[in-house]
Copies of this chain bind each other. A is one copy, B any other.
Amino acid sequence: MTVGDSLDFSHLFSDETKARKSSPLKSCIHLFQDPNIVFLGGGLPMSKYFPWDNLQVESPLPPFANGIGESPSGDAKDTCHVQVRKNEVTKAGDSKDIPLSRSLQYGHSKGQPEFLSFVREHTQLVHGMKYADWDILATTGNTGSWESTLRIFCNKGDTILAEQYTFSSSIYAAEAQGVNVFPVPLDDHGLIPERLESILDNWNPETRKPKLLYTIPTGQNPTGSSLSDDRKVEIYRIAQKHDLLILEDEPYYFLQMDAYQKDPSQRKATEFASHDEFVKSLAKSFISLDTEGRVIRMDSFSKVLGPGTRLGWIVASAKILKAYLQLHEMTIQNPSGFSQSIVAGTLNRWGQGGFLDWLIGMRREYNEKRDVAIDALYEYIPESPAFHINPPIAGMFFTLNIDASSHPEFATKYQSKPELVEQAIYEKVVASGVLVVPGAWFKALGDTQPPQPTSSKQELDPNGVIFRGTYAAVPLDKLREGIKRFGLALKEEFQL
């Protein structure tokens, strides 16, 4: 199959992006490697003055027979020894390393080639890209990538769309820039395409139309819901119809699990016969559907290797990534050279299959954590129509939906205001020794001025409040204890 190039979406760029000039210094830095030119052009310190050499680190060795939580013993049988020298060495097996003399130097704003090529191959393997000029840009993780996205596409006064509950930092980053975050309702299966379409079909032409949909499709933060593959196809069609870009923020993508079985005897952890089978089991991504370069995907190692790597990547069309690169040249320059040398050194030793083994191991761990959390919720949350549990099939979060109007003092003490019930519950649970966080922290509230005709009809459940918990952060015994405390607090609060 011959695939075409992406469309041009530069009409959606912000004024800032349109005004941004590349530094001419960046345009001549490649002459540093030109043997015919004496490079007196830029302030590049000589690598002989970088004080580090012989960087080494140990990781477990694929296929991670003892699980991904096992520390390497140092023995060759279970330990992957990563060693990165300052200068290039040609010894077999080291050829995919990024020498410190290069990773610690200026230059590769796109990311180091050895890192990019691994991620590129991984992306093709998992998403099977459907247009020709897609590319990869190294980032310092999705928080920064999102801020960059806002700068690249949005002007002050613009409106973007997002799930009704979404990651609070993403909302606040937009709001600080004067960008309005307009909520799209979601349910247990994620964002509701019909609602999205109705919002856009009926958009008030007096207000600027949204250019961008921000979505966390897999293990959504905070609701824990995952967008079904069918809905993604629908949403992509709506995006085409309304000239909308889709920004998929996918830090939890590889934390996909089996469907939760309430009865433990029915549980049977999926074993994958091959890497291929594992890849086929994964949810379809928006980028895998994309034939036009309309989707921008933000990926990160924060949830699968470690947040402090501050290393991630964006998948998008080369045309769009050029704007990110120009911005990066004035912000991060590039992710840490140590991070790139260590992560690429590790992944290139593990290989694509080894990385998939790691991700399969990660899936297994989170599957168990999820089961323990949901078991505990069913055990400790009082049985009542006031409480709804939606067992997640991906991610780090579970959510308890609470009908605030079921509170015995809803109409009296709380003046029929669900947000006051929510706040009271929050204070109660923290006083009970557990931290779960209220939905209010995640609410996109940004209606436009004048308001949209759809916005008053949005609330699926006007008295619904949610609490987000995570099964990621603590060991299983503490997880159970925390949910027990949560349940007891609710029991007291609701006088059950």
Contact = CB atoms under 8 A, between A and B. Distances in A.
A41 to B, nearest CB: 4
B437 A28 contact: yes
A451 interface: no
A68 B473 CA distance: 43
Q: Which of A42, A336, A342, A478 has the most CB of B within 10 A?
A: A336
Contacts of A3: none
Contacts of A213: none
A332 B140 contact: yes
Contact of A71 (B53, B308, B473, B483): B53
A311 interface: yes
A241 B178 CA distance: 33
Interface string A422-448: 000000001001111100010000000
A86 B71 contact: yes
Contacts of A351: none
Contacts of A486: 40
A336 B339 contact: yes
Contacts of A310: 332-337
Contacts of A308: 100, 103-106, 334, 336-338, 340
Contacts of A44: 307, 470, 472-473
A380 interface: no
Given A32-B473, A338-B342, A473-B40, A56 B53 contact: no
B53 A435 contact: no
Interface stretch (A166-174, A190-198, A381-389): A166-174
Nearest to A475: B46
B342 A52 contact: yes
Nearest to A330: B173
B172 A330 contact: yes
A60 B54 CA distance: 12
A45 interface: yes
A42 B473 contact: yes
Contacts of A335: 310, 336
A484 B305 CA distance: 51
A437 B24 contact: yes
Contacts of A293: none
A24 B141 contact: no
Contact of A38 (B15, B20, B60, B482): B482
A34 to B, nearest CB: 8
Contact of A53 (B24, B72, B434, B470): B72
A221 interface: yes
A474 interface: yes
A45 B332 contact: no
Given A144-B332, A172-B20, A59 B55 contact: no
B169 A329 contact: yes
A126 B362 CA distance: 47
A365 B46 CA distance: 11
Contacts of A331: 143-144, 147, 331
Contact of A358 (B28, B40, B51, B104): B51
Interface in A103-123: 103-106
Given A25-B441, A55-B56, A306-B45, A482 B105 contact: no
B474 A307 contact: no
B168 A38 contact: no
A491 to B, nearest CB: 17
Given A17-B176, A51-B358, A309-B338, 7 more contacts: A25-B169, A31-B435, A37-B433, A40-B436, A45-B303, A45-B396, A308-B336
11 contacts: A23-B169, A31-B435, A38-B435, A40-B471, A42-B470, A45-B472, A52-B59, A71-B86, A104-B306, A141-B333, A169-B329
